[in-house]
Amino acid sequence: MQILAALIGFLLVAGVLRDAFETIILPRRVSGVRISKVFYRASWRPWAAIARRLPPSDNRETFLSVYGPLSLLVLIVLWAVVLVCGFALLLWAANYGAPGVFGHLYVSATNFTTLGLGDFTPRTDLARFLTVLEAGTGFGFLAIVISYLPILYQSFSRRETLISVLDEWAGSPPSAGELYRRVVEAGATDELRPLLDRWEEWTAELLESHLSYQVLSYFRSQHENQSWLAALTAIMDLATAWQAARPEGRTWASRRLYAIGRHALGDLSQVLQAAPRFDAPDRLTEAEIETIHAQLRVAGATVDLADFRERLNTLRRGYEPYAAALSHQLVMELPPWIPTAGRKDNWETTAWEGSAPGESLH
């Protein structure tokens, strides 16, 4: 019986330490069964199911926004609880001498948190060794977790900065058609290539950070009409339209962005177990294709409508099924190609809506 308890305890401790190492420290994807993967799959499904029953609103977005930070805290507590239980089994197998099951759990918890109350003392050399080992493990575990949180939130902050900037470029929610219209209207088409370059870097960082820290995928943006998925899809739409309308020699920036964007959508769909939805409803109507083509012609594009439509639809099939899958999985709306009439940008609205300049806000 003691040998079986020791084996189970060792597997629990080793499993948690391996999972924490691969989740927090190891900067790459890891295949196989992991506690954190099972936890996120098991906890997100009911959370998302409840959210889908709520009407689209601030309340639903607030409910969804709680999941990311809360799941992170629950996962850390889950790791700690499993470690305490695993060490409790090891201590019992090593004849520590505490009374009963709860006595060994109590000793293990005080060892893990390095409280050192001294209620019970180990009776064997092996139990003494395990006591020191657990205290060191608990101290190191807490130190690593504390250092992990700032890194996570720095990645989140860097992600959100460019998403906020996109509000002025492409509207709220962002759309490729609105972005191009504003650029053409302002006579600033020469700024599109630097814009694509910045978003290429942003997408590469998004891919790296969200593969390394899966929980970031569940962190929501500040506004209900913004998300990392909507921003990435809108920029992919822009790169796609640019390629469909331009001669081959003038699409290098958009082709690079399309490549890294498709890479990000494909890999994140795989990590989050979101199978591509090839039968998803079409996001682009014929009238919208004609509108976008007309905007591009104003900016100097010479491709005829039939060629533009064919190129555009071919490129869209390379990424939209993955975007649709992530949209369904994460309960994040995909952006329109053409903005909804009458929708204000986020910067045009405040909590003090209706107060004129000079009026008291109270």
Question: How many residues can be counted in the chain?
Answer: 362
Total tally of structural domains belonging to the chain: 2
The reply to whether 314 falls in a domain is yes
Boundary-marking domain end, from 110, 130, 146: 146
CATH number at residue 44: 1.10.287.70
Domain boundary (130, 146, 162) is at: 146
Do 88 and 222 share a structural domain? no
353 falls within a domain: no
Residue 350 placed within a domain: no
Q: Check: CB of residue 289 under 8 Å from CB of residue 256.
A: no
Q: Which domain holds residue 329?
A: 171-339
Q: Verify that 45 and 142 share a domain, yes or no.
A: yes
User: Do 260 and 119 belong together in one domain?
Assistant: no
Same domain, 313 and 196: yes
Torsion of CA 19, 23, 26, 30, to 10 degrees: 70
Q: Rounded distance, CA 185 to CA 193, Å?
A: 17
- The verdict on residue 12 lying in a domain is yes
Q: Does 254 map to a domain?
A: yes
Decide if 157 is inside a domain. no
Q: Are residues 212 and 105 in the same domain?
A: no
Assess whether 217 and 293 both reside in one domain.
yes
| 8 A C-beta contact, residue 39 and residue 75 | yes
Residues 177 and 139 in one domain: no
- Is residue 97 located within the same domain as residue 198? no
Does 27 reside within a domain? yes
Calpha distance 200→258 (Å, rounded): 8
The answer to the question of residue 154 being in a domain is no
- Closest by CA position to 203, among listed 241, 163, 249, 174: 163
Can you give the pTM of this predicted structure? 0.85
Q: Does residue 201 sit in the same domain as residue 257?
A: yes
Tell me which of 113, 146, 179 is where a domain ends: 146
Whether residues 201 and 329 share a domain: the answer is yes
Q: Are residues 88 and 190 in the same domain?
A: no
> Digits of tens for pLDDT over the chain (362 positions)?
788 988 998 999 999 888 888 887 776 665 666 788 889 989 999 999 999 998 888 888 899 999 999 999 999 999 999 999 999 999 999 888 888 888 889 998 998 988 877 778 888 899 899 999 999 999 898 888 888 888 888 999 999 999 988 988 888 888 988 888 888 888 888 888 899 999 999 999 999 999 888 899 999 988 778 899 999 999 999 999 989 887 766 788 899 999 999 999 999 999 898 999 999 899 998 998 988 888 888 777 778 889 999 999 999 999 999 999 999 999 999 999 988 776 777 777 766 654 444 444 43
Residues 246 and 310 placed together within one structural domain of the fold: yes
Q: Residue 277 and residue 280: Cα distance in Å, rounded?
A: 5
